[in-house]
Every structure is written in structure tokens, then in C-alpha cells.
Structure 1
Amino acid sequence: MSLHRKTGLIFGALLALANSDSFAHSFFRADSVKVTAPGAAPKQISNQFKFTEGPAVNKKGDIYFTDQPNDKIWKYDTDGKLSVYMEKTGRSNGLYFDKKGNLIACADEKDELWSISPKGKVTVLLNDFEGKRLNGPNDLWIDPKGGIYFTDPYYQRDYWERKKPDLDGQKVYYLPKGKKEAVVVDGNLLQPNGIVGSPDGKYLFVADIRDNKTYKYEINADGSLTNRQLFVPQGSDGITLDEQGNLYLSGRGVTVYNAQGEKIQHIPVPSRWVGNLCFGGKNRKTLFITASESVYTLEMQVKGVE
């Protein structure tokens, strides 16, 4: 066979393979797939904090986040202005806005869930489980019906008098809208932390940081969870989703997995630890990263859905 003909056959076979769905899926899912904007890198906004956490975005695209050791909630607006929103926040950690614009907070000074109105009025939504003090609500997500899923790991705080938990185990809870009692939706985790759900309310993701695993669940009509599946063998502190169903895990930088659980990008962040992250800005294409003493922004090709 001539070299010319052999080359043509090889090229034809490669072309056919490249046009196949399996090849395209396996080839383009690697580092060639990027969710960050071309040439973008994390931009440090400030490094004046002690430990930043819990970013949440309002309808305008403004981002609120906590500096938990300093007991403050900060605001980073769509014009790039940074300001203190609230002091004496109950040592708030994870945050999330409800449909009415109330900021729901995991306030672990007394291990409560708070609702902070747009005018700053605090309402305690939950302060115990079956009469016992919660471990320390850490992160939360609100479903389309207004119910609150939250993780309750135990991290000993220096501002607590107690030295051990009142409850057995570290669990995931669901507080139905308008109710005053939560229910356990997964009690079989080592240390649940980051949590987020799909915008259609069908799926929930929970990171078990101690077990270094992140799980995906189906959400039932009553808020209970079924069909727990290992999504990726990596834990996380905080997590978020984008419009393509990609899941973002925090820790040593930011790691991004597609909807099939395949790693598509790792984003280095020049801080010792990334605590949490969310999308914000007017078009929801700015990834806001809380990283210990610093906060960063990163321009993206995709939009967030929270």
C-alpha cells in the first residue's frame, strides 16, 4: 500500500473517530474545557479579614459574605464597592437569600438559623433539634418551595462554653417553609459541610469534608432525600453550581466537575484555603471566592444559578 493511501486511510479513520460522540466526550472533557473567561485569573479584592465564608448573592447581583471570627457580614456590590453590612451577626457562617430578600444565616454562636430582613431585623428560625442544641449550622440551600436544607457539622469554637456536642452524629437537616421543627434527611455522614441544590429543586449535593466525598441525592416532594450516589471522590468546604450543571468544590483552590462528575478544571487561588464561593455580578458571570484572609473575583464564561 502506498504511503499516500495509508496516510489517507489513517486520516479518514481519525476523522470518523473524532466525529463520534464517545471520542468528542472523552477528548473535550479534559483541560481543553474551561469555565473561566479566556486569560482570566483570580483578582484579590481585599485581604483584611481573618476567615471569610458563606458568600450569597441577592437579586441585584450584590454579594454578601461573612468574616466569622470577627463576627461581621460584608457586602460587595455590583459596582465593586466593599462595605460592612452588619456587625454582631451571631457568628454567622453560611448565608443564602430567600425569595423575599431576607438573608438566611447559619449563626453558630448559639447554633441557630437566622432570618435577617432587608432592614436588619433578626428572626430566629430554629435553635434546636428535639430539644437539644444543634452542633453548629454551617452551610445551607433554600429549595424552590422555601424549605431550608442545612449541614450541621461539629467544629469546636473558642466562644462556646461546651466542649462536646449535645447531639449524636453530624447530619443534614431540612426545615420546611413555615415550620419550627427540622427533620434529618441524612444522618449517615462523617462531617457534612458544603451544600447546594439544582435550581429545579430535583437534586441536592452535599460534601462530606471529613470523608473526602461529595454526594448527589434526588429530592422527594416532601423534602426527603433518596438515591444517594457518590458524585465525586472529593470533599469540599463550600460548593456551588453553574448554568451548565458544573459543580464547584472549594479547598486547595477551586475544582470544577461537569454534570457527569468528570473534572474539567482546577483553578489555583493564592491563599492557603478556599472556604466557599458563589456567582454574582449583574450578569452572574463573576465567581466570588472567599479564601481565608482574602476575597477574590474571577470572570467566567458561564453563569451561576443560585
Structure 2
Amino acid sequence: MERIKFYSLIKIFLVCFLFSFAVSAQTNKPLFKDSLKLISSQFKFTEGASVDKKGNVFFSDQPSNTIWKYSVDGNLSLFTDKSGRANGTYFDKKGNLLACADENFQILSFDRNGISKSIYKNPKENDLNGPNDLWIDKKGGIYFTDPYYQRNYWTRKTPAIVGEKVYYIPNKEESPIKIVEEGLEKPNGIVGTPDGKLLYVADAKAGKIYQYSIQPNGTLTNKVLLINQGSDGMTLDEKGNIYLTGNGVTIFNKEGVQIEHINVSKTRTSNLCFAGKNRNILFITAGSSIYILPMLVKGVE
């Protein structure tokens, strides 16, 4: 009887060990094996990368007031030369490209032909700082960040409103815009999980990434400091890993532990998304340039 108990304990130990080893091996599995490839350096300042259902990437060249398309077959083409100084972009379920357009403090929606209409414009009582980045939830509600960045063409010298915040536009509601979080120094990048349960917000000035729980009415609770590093644009892969921009691309797991870094020379990175028919190509914007990197994981956008 004692011998049976002993062998049972050994068996349990081996099962636990092998399970732990398998989990560790999966966690440490490489995310990429190829080298970064430069696609073009013809732009002024690239931003706002997002992918459509076919895997084509659309990205903004903000100073030039343009949005470009990088297709799955590797071709570059101009999508629109009237972007409203688009920054962050994101596709809705109908295939429209939504863009944070800070020229007139708007969120614009572009159809497949590049024709735009205003989804939201600044409050009547005063201007926004300038919509910067956005994410759309499963209901069609829009979260967007509104940091203040001084632009040369602006006549105002100070912000027209107090605070730099995150806003939420409920689906099919033009007003009011609901403030969902205060106390951020300069919210910039924003992205949510596919299940609609978590929202990540980058505080560019504080150098922090915060995690929030999304409530059924769109409000945010349970603020958690997840990563002590800021970011501009952000994206997620199928394993829940979080990709941050700035000094190259730094990858953290969903517990906030750094697991990888992609070096991008010459300039700071600004935005990124997973592209291609299989969503396994990391597309990166960085200053005047755009890059791609084949990945061993897929994106979730």
C-alpha cells in the first residue's frame, strides 16, 4: 500500500512538472525569426496604422494630410489627400475607416472610395485638445484619447479645456460624449481586447500603460498600472501580448512582463498593426518610413 502511494505521488509530480515545462516552453516560444524589412521612406511622419478585413494596411502621413494604403500584394497607393490631419485610425464592422482628425477636432469616417463624413465634432462649448487615437468596441462604441500637442498652425497657445482625457461615444449616439477616465497626464495610444473586457491606455507623458475593466455601459473601472513604459500606438497579438512603440517595438505579455524587443534603427516608432491575409505580418510606422516583419503569431484586430 505504501509503495502504491509512493508511485502515485511520483506520477503526480511528473505530470505537474511536464505541464509546467510545456507552459514555459509555450510562453518562451519565439515571436519572429526573420529580419525587419524597410518598405519606403518617402513620407514626412507616418502614423495611425490599421488593417481592413482583407489584410490591407491603411496609415496616415499626418503633416501631408494624407492616408495611404499598403496592400496585401505589397503595393503602395494614395487613399486620400484630404485626411483632416488624420492620426490614429481603426476600421468599423462595416468596413469604414474611422480616423482621429485633429485639424478640426473631429472623428471622420472614410468609405471605400476615400469619401469622408464627420462622425463626431468638438463640443459646442469648447474645443477638444485634438483626437489622437481610437478603438471600437464590439457594440460599435468608440473610445478615443484627447491629448494636447501644440501645433504650429494652431492660433491658440494654451488648451481650451482642462485636462487630457479618454472619451467614449456610445454606438448610434451623437451626444453626449462620455468622459470615462480622468487623472491621466497625456493619454495617447489605446486598444482593447477582442472579448471587450479590457482596455489599455498609454500615458505618453507619465510613461505608463494602464489597464481598465470595461463595464457593460462602456465606463471603465479597476484601473491597474500594468507597464512602466509609455507608448504611442499599440496593438495586441493572439496570445494577449501587448506591442508598444517608441524605442523600436517592445513586447510585453498580458501580465506586464517584457518578453521581446524589435530594434528599429534611425528613428522612433509611432504605430503598428498586424497585416496580411493571415494577420501574421507586423506593420510598423516610424518617422518617414514604414517597415514589415513576418511574425510567428497573429494579430487580433
Is the TM value for this pair above 0.5? yes
Q: Does the residue aligned with 1:240 lie in a helix, a strand or coil? A: strand
Normalization by structure 1: what TM-score?
Answer: 0.90
Q: After superposition, give the CA deviation of every residue in 1:79-101 in whole Å (9 maximum; x if it has no partner).
A: 00011110021100000010111
1:223 to 218, 222, 236: 218
* Alpha-carbon distance, 1:221 to partner: 0.5
Name the CA distance, whole Å, in 1 between partners of 2:35 and 2:213: 34
Q: Does the residue aligned with 2:63 lie in a helix, a strand or coil? A: helix
* Alpha-carbon distance, 1:201 to partner: 0.7
Match of 1:81 in 2: 75
1:112 to 106, 109, 123: 106
Match of 2:194 in 1: 199
1:93 to 77, 83, 87: 87
Match of 2:244 in 1: 249
Q: Does the residue aligned with 1:61 lie in a helix, a strand or coil? A: coil
Q: After superposition, give the CA deviation of every residue in 1:105-137 in whole Å (9 maximum; x if it has no partner).
A: 000011111111122222111111362111010
* Alpha-carbon distance, 1:27 to partner: 8.2
- Is 1:155 aligned to 2:149, yes or no? yes
Name the CA distance, whole Å, in 1 between partners of 2:218 and 2:265: 38
Whether the 8 Å contact between 1:33 and 1:264 is mirrored in structure 2 is no
Name the CA distance, whole Å, in 1 between partners of 2:148 and 2:25: 42
- Is 1:65 aligned to 2:59, yes or no? yes
Name the CA distance, whole Å, in 1 between partners of 2:266 and 2:25: 31
Name the CA distance, whole Å, in 2 between partners of 1:121 and 1:282: 25
Whether the 8 Å contact between 1:33 and 1:265 is mirrored in structure 2 is no
Name the CA distance, whole Å, in 1 between partners of 2:292 and 2:264: 10
* Alpha-carbon distance, 1:180 to partner: 1.4
Point out the more displaced range, 232-241 or 116-125. Answer: 116-125
Match of 1:133 in 2: 127
Match of 1:53 in 2: 47
* Alpha-carbon distance, 1:254 to partner: 0.2
Q: Does the residue aligned with 2:104 lie in a helix, a strand or coil? A: coil
- C-alpha RMSD over aligned residues: 1.9
Which residue identity is paired with 1:151? T
Q: Does the residue aligned with 1:188 lie in a helix, a strand or coil? A: coil
Q: After superposition, give the CA deviation of every residue in 1:134-179 in whole Å (9 maximum; x if it has no partner).
A: 1010000000100000000001111222111111010000011111
Name the CA distance, whole Å, in 2 between partners of 1:198 and 1:110: 30
Q: Does the residue aligned with 1:189 lie in a helix, a strand or coil? A: coil
Which residue identity is paired with 1:240? T
Name the CA distance, whole Å, in 2 between partners of 1:79 and 1:302: 20
Name the CA distance, whole Å, in 2 between partners of 1:197 and 1:72: 26
Normalization by structure 2: what TM-score?
Answer: 0.91
Q: Does the residue aligned with 2:182 lie in a helix, a strand or coil? A: strand
Q: Does the residue aligned with 1:79 lie in a helix, a strand or coil? A: coil
Match of 1:3 in 2: none
* Alpha-carbon distance, 1:22 to partner: 6.4
Whether the 8 Å contact between 1:116 and 1:123 is mirrored in structure 2 is yes
Residue pairs, 1:202-213, within 5 angstroms: 202-213=197-208
Q: After superposition, give the CA deviation of every residue in 1:207-257 in whole Å (9 maximum; x if it has no partner).
A: 001101001111000000010101111110110001110000000100001
Name the CA distance, whole Å, in 2 between partners of 1:62 and 1:200: 23
- Is 1:275 aligned to 2:270, yes or no? yes
Aligned residues: 289
Match of 2:294 in 1: 299
Structure 1 segments of 4+ aligned residues over 2 angstroms from their partners: 15-29
Name the CA distance, whole Å, in 1 between partners of 2:252 and 2:287: 23
Name the CA distance, whole Å, in 2 between partners of 1:24 and 1:197: 28
Q: Percent identity?
A: 53
Name the CA distance, whole Å, in 1 between partners of 2:164 and 2:227: 20
Gaps of 5+ in 1: 1-11
2:228 to 224, 228, 233: 233
Q: After superposition, give the CA deviation of every residue in 1:276-298 in whole Å (9 maximum; x if it has no partner).
A: 00001000000000001100000
Match of 1:214 in 2: 209
Which residue identity is paired with 2:85? R
Match of 2:4 in 1: none
Match of 2:31 in 1: 35
* Alpha-carbon distance, 1:17 to partner: 12
Name the CA distance, whole Å, in 1 between partners of 2:22 and 2:73: 40
